[in-house]
């Protein structure tokens, strides 16, 4: 139920209904009504929610459907790797087009490094997709 998911989000942020409502520019009673399933949030509320919590998946909030997870090869890096953590933080702040530029640069840099090492570079993933 949407109200339960909204409550879960609010509690994950460690916010009271009052604090949550204040952040979103609405009344705590409105938050309570949504959480109890007595009313559906309007578009202004959802826009405020997305603005304040940009990583919130509104599709999940509205439908309960989780984003599709694409099976990938097993991770070779762990979250404990400080470089991967820093790269992830930088990429999180970029829009899609900028992340694609970073990926293209990284693939080009990898090819250059392979050439310098005398290896035949593999064809870049972005080139395969074009």
The pLDDT of residue 48 is above 80: yes
pLDDT given at position 72 = 53
| Domain extents in the chain | 2-63, 82-129
What does the pLDDT average to over 45-60? 90
> Band of the pLDDT at 47, cuts 50, 70, 90?
very high
pTM: 0.52
Cα angle 33, 35, 41 (rounded to 5 degrees) comes to 70
The Cα–Cα gap between 1 and 36 comes to: 9
Q: What is the pLDDT of residues 69-128, one digit of tens each?
A: 544 555 555 556 677 777 877 888 888 888 888 888 888 888 888 888 887 656 544 444
Domain 2-63 maps to which CATH number in 3.20.20.80, 3.90.226.10, 3.20.20.140, 1.10.260.40? 1.10.260.40
């Amino acid at each position: 139920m949407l109200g339960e998911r909204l409550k879960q989000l609010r509690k994950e942020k460690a916010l009271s209904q009052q604090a949550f409502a204040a952040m979103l520019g609405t009344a705590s009673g409105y938050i309570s009504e949504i959480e109890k399933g007595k009313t559906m949030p309007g578009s202004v509320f959802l826009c405020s929610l997305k603005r304040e919590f940009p990583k919130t998946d509104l599709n999940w909030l509205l439908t309960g459907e989780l984003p599709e997870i694409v099976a990938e090869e097993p991770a070779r890096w762990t979250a404990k790797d400080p470089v991967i953590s820093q790269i992830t933080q930088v990429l999180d702040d970029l829009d899609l087009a900028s992340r694609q530029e970073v990926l293209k640069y990284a693939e080009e840099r990898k090819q250059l490094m392979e050439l310098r090492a005398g290896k035949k570079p593999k064809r870049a993933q972005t080139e395969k997709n074009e």
